[in-house]
Chains A and B, each alone.
Chain A
Amino acid sequence: MDDSARRARVAKAVTAALDRCADNPKALTWPDDYIELLGHTAIGTRPARDRIAGGVSSDGGQRRGAPEFEALDPENLPWPTSILAERKGVLPGTPFVRIRSVPTGLLDLKGLEDALERIRQREDGPEADRL
């Protein structure tokens, strides 16, 4: 199998995986990884491009919400902060703030746009003529 055929095979397999989970991309656990690979391999394949473009408009966004800050009681630190503080030799009574960033469940918009742009660039370049 030659190099172009390998890329085409990757693009076909990844597109099929994304289509199988079109209603619930999170079933792939890391759908952004699949989309990145598709962006590196798909050339002149409308289904792949449409799949990514559809994600940009419907599933794309910020992967994580705005950070949330929570001041912890320095005299009663929750686990595992208490264990970490002890291991690091932090003095008792030291104020702690917990910062959390909750996943939104959306696909990484920048990753989607980057993948789409890579496919477009190849379609305009010499690689497109080979497939």
Chain B
Amino acid sequence: MTDEIGQAFHLWVEEGTIELLLAALDDPDDKVARRAVKLLTGCVRQPAAKERKEISEDASRQSGARGWGQASAWMTPRGVLGSPKR
């Protein structure tokens, strides 16, 4: 399941997915936990300026970026300065 989510995250953007990834962190299968770590990192890290510029110039990447941005909002305390902007 985490593999499927990772291949097309923008199609899985809902709060239930975040909960599933949180549960996957404790999965006894290391591969599942590792995949969850990667995906959750994508949810909380702020893309570098260069990456943001590339996304803004590439329409095919913008829907994916919107998905990560929404997931980021579900992981980031509201009203905090420096919250991820995508």
Contacts and interface: CB of A to CB of B under 8 A. Distances in A.
A binds B: yes
Interface of A: 1, 3-4, 6-7, 9-10, 13-14, 17, 28-30, 33-34, 36-37, 40-41, 121, 125-127, 130-131
A1 B74 CA distance: 10
22 contacts: A3-B73, A3-B75, A3-B76, A4-B77, A6-B22, A7-B44, A10-B40, A10-B75, A13-B22, A14-B37, A28-B30, A28-B34, A30-B34, A36-B41, A37-B37, A37-B40, A37-B41, A40-B41, A41-B44, A125-B82, A127-B77, A127-B80
Contacts of B38: 33
B38 to A, nearest CB: 6
Contact of B78 (A3, A13, A40): A3
Dominant SS at the B interface? helix
B76 to A, nearest CB: 6
Interface of B: 18-19, 22, 25-26, 30, 33-34, 37-38, 40-41, 44-45, 73-82
Contacts of A37: 37, 40-41, 44
Contacts of A121: 82
B77 A130 contact: yes
Contacts of B44: 7, 10, 37, 40-41
Nearest to B45: A40
Contact of A36 (B45, B78, B82): B45
A126 B37 contact: no
A7 B38 CA distance: 15
A79 B74 CA distance: 49
A100 to B, nearest CB: 26
Nearest to A30: B34
A1 B75 contact: no
Given A37-B37, A41-B44, 14 more contacts: A3-B73, A4-B77, A7-B75, A7-B76, A28-B30, A30-B34, A30-B37, A33-B41, A34-B37, A36-B41, A37-B40, A37-B41, A121-B82, A125-B80
